[in-house]
Amino acid sequence: MQKQIKSALISVFYKDNLENIVKTLGQQGVTIYSTGGTQKFIEEQGVKCVAVEDLTAYPSILGGRVKTLHPKVFGGILARRENKQDLEQLAQYEIPEIDLVIVDLYPFEETVKSTSEEQAIIEKIDIGGVSLIRAAGKNYKDVVIVASKNQYADLEKALVEGKGATTLEQRRQFAAKAFEVCAHYDVAIAGYFLQNSEKDYFQLSVPQGQVCRYGENPHQKGVFYGNLEDMFDKLHGKELSYNNLVDVDAAVQLIAEFTDTTFAVIKHTNVCGIASRVTLTAAWEAALAGDKESAFGGVLVCNKTVDAATAQSINEIFFEILIAPGFEPAALEILQARKNRILLLQKQPLKTPQMFKNVLNGVLVQDNDEGSFKTWDESGAQPATEAQKADLEFANIVCKHLKSNAIALVKERQLVGKGCGQTSRIDALRHAIEKAKQFEFSLQGAVMASDAFFPFDDCVRIAKAEGITAVIQPGGSIRDNDSITYAKENGMAMVITGMRHFRH
């Protein structure tokens, strides 16, 4: 059912790209009502405009808090055109029909980001705009509602192609988008007020959906909601896929734990190589040596500017993504030689205090796994040496970022073996040892980290037999003493952290 637009109410904060719409409405003979700055803008386009104050016979009051909240505005929007009684009341109270509403909302989120001054933030909670959107959206059968400058192009196209008339389906689609804008706005406001309070609802609204090539697999659809440009400048390469994004998330979470010059390789969210060294090139070469096989097609991440020497070494292997806080011009020239590889300059750390996961018919929410240990209880036969302490701390962080059950074997701040995603801890250790031997690492003097306690002393016994001299684990088993006693009797250092790091 087509409806001709004969009148419009326009009241917007952002006027970008509104010129063509205003001129088109003027050419089509549409009566336009407006307020304040928007009215001035419309008149500057050479289009006549009726002030809302002239319609309502009330000025803008309370410092602009009340402008459009009036029956002569909302009556004209909400009146049902097929309802005889509604039309009679419009005539009785001299209320004009309003067929199009163009409104956007005060920039609440932008204000929260730019200031902590509460009064400035409160004043950017829109009242009239939200009310206009809801009223026009409710009466979509008769009224077109445009609630965002992102929809201006769609409106202009509809006005031109329909010669000022719209279809019911077009009006319904505009209404759907408008309610979506309102919902996002309300979630942002609720989040501001509840930032230090317990929440009764799971509410998350993230704009800017970006369709991925596919999901985890080609037969699955995938969409990313978020603004990657806040965190990264993409300097080179194709668009990030669903799996790329998951791996990038794992990579930036891991690298944030290190301050010394560190390079890491991620494959399917697990660390397959990582090392800290004096130079970035040395860190890269040690990380790659940890598992040259798994590094193929991996995601690389480091915490220092990539120089030409490191870039030249990296360039010798195939990788999907490289993330760094900076790139020297010569390094970029080397790395950009291959078309599809993705180069991301990380501008800021990841800031997500909570994690979400959909399970069954609901959502699990938890705090991020911050920190690596609560205590440093050296329960072994002898205190850990300074070198062992450095390796134990390194191993504990790495293990935290491996899928459970997880074991990390480290020597001289280099991951030399890891077992992850295993159904038993002893299998994880066997896998870690096998990996170390595959790449010809000696485990003499290495250290071992476990993401959870040892239910028996079997892992410590196997570690000792391989030459491992120090262990770090959270403790908490009813049989902790079995592992501690074995360590004491066999001259091994053992640190109990009191902090488990399951990662499912």
Catalytic machinery residues: 138, 268
Spatial separation of the C-alpha atoms in residues 156 and 359, rounded to whole Å: 42
Does residue 17 have a cis bond before it (omega within 30 degrees)? no
What Rg value do the Cα atoms of the chain yield, rounded?
Answer: 31
Half-sphere exposure of 355 (CA within 13 A, CB side): 12
For residue 427, CA distances in Å to 272, 419, 421 come to 17, 8, 10
Residue 320 exposed, middle or buried by CB count within 10 Å (0-12, 13-18, 19+): buried
SS3 state at 140: coil
Amino acid at 430: R
Query: Which tokens hold the place of 61?
Result: 């009051």
Would you list the DSSP string of 298-351? EEEEESS-B-HHHHHHHTTS-EEEEEES-B-HHHHHHHTTSSS-EEEEE-S---
* Residue type for position 102: I
Report d(CA 25, CA 379) in Å as an integer.
Answer: 79
Cα 481 to Cα 499: distance, rounded to the nearest angstrom = 17
The answer to whether the beta carbons of residues 255 and 397 sit under 8 Å apart is: no
348 to 40, 326, 345, 351: CA distances (angstroms) = 40, 11, 9, 9
Q: Give 344's Cβ-side CA count (13 Å radius).
A: 30
Q: Give the three-state DSSP class for 229.
A: helix
Beta strands in 161-229 (DSSP E): 165-166, 209-211, 223-225
Residues 381/490, Cβ–Cβ less than 8 Å? yes
Q: Are 80 and 86 in contact (CB under 8 A)?
A: yes
8 Å CB contact between 39 and 53: no
Which long-range CB contacts under 8 A does 274-282 form with residues at least 24 apart?
A: 274/398, 274/414, 274/415, 275/413, 275/414, 275/415, 276/394, 276/413, 276/414, 277/413, 280/304, 280/305, 280/306, 280/307, 280/310, 281/307, 281/309, 281/310, 281/313
